A and B are shown apart, each in its own frame.
Chain A
């Protein structure tokens, strides 16, 4: 039951893009076309889940036992950078077609703050669902949370790209062209997502 609540909350209620404002750069940057948005979402999905798994294990089996939690930020960002590199190399060898689809987005993901944000969130913040006691996530919950969060990222990203493709066909006042009209669209989308609040 808790897992279902975690998933619904991460995708709809606390959407990483529209209510937590993490990962806005790719959200505004590569959402011009639906196909690139799908590619980016896939890559982010993969990296967020993997990175959260590795950083979680690193936090509890290396940093905490050694008493060097203060190295958290450096360690996490290095792990994420290394993981992204590794995924790129492995993908190139194993599945060239998938690499073609996701490859160009991978280098951008290291500096996507959603990845570091989720990794830090699961080890620093207490969560609670369905009126239970607030507690730190265990490994299973962390990975599910990370995966669901990245699904939320994908959902918002794809909806947004679809909207922007439509807007591109319309007449937009000169001053609003480009980013401003995208932000206005995002604002309306965020309002729509507010309708989910209170669901969990």
Chain B
């Protein structure tokens, strides 16, 4: 697979949210607006690329039986670095996303890519893979956030286009489940048509 395919496959074919259904917790929790969803996606992308690279570089030296704990430590280290960087340079976003930043450690996408790709591929390929999956995740979260923001608060990326409130339930918990359900159905329909 070429580098370009490695990056683009995460967009549709192996989209972590819509097609692999991984990392559901931050997907549902942080998509109250498009900006929040995008920030969460980018934060995950950062960890994904760096941990993929580090794991790819160290995998040949890690004994098989302790590989999962070793990967978790590596991922946790990058997550903590991300926490420091966000606290220093984007404190407002850090505050908004709250607990879900440290919880990137247990995001199945990150550990999943380490197991499924990074530990058997080169550093550059792993970086591309992380970038591709990360972009796919960011795209999915931004889209879900946008849908919820438009329906729930009548605005898009913070720009308000109707006066008053939207359909509040879409900003709340039930709306998160509902919006994601319909987006997955739409995604299935669109990709099924393409496949024909």
Contact = CB atoms under 8 A, between A and B. Distances in A.
Judge A-B direct contact (beta carbons within 8 Å): yes
B186 to A, nearest CB: 9
Contacts of B108: 25, 111
Contacts of B184: 179-180, 183
Interface stretch (B53-61, B132-140, B157-165, B174-182): B174-182
B65 to A, nearest CB: 11
A: interface residue count bin: 35 or more
B173 A19 contact: yes
Interface in A73-121: 73-74, 77-78, 81, 110-113, 115-117, 120-121
B180 A24 contact: no
Given A175-B189, A194-B172, A111 B25 contact: no
Interface string B73-104: 10011011001100000000000000100110
Contact of A28 (B24, B102, B178): B24
Contacts of B80: 70-74
B96 to A, nearest CB: 15
Contacts of A73: 76, 79-80, 83, 102, 105
B69 interface: yes
Interface of A: 18-25, 28, 70-74, 77-78, 81, 110-113, 115-117, 120-121, 124-125, 175-176, 179-181, 183-184, 186-188, 190-191, 193-194
Interface of B: 21-22, 24-26, 28-29, 68-69, 72-73, 76-77, 79-80, 83-84, 99, 102-103, 105-108, 111, 169, 172-178, 180-182, 184-185, 188-189
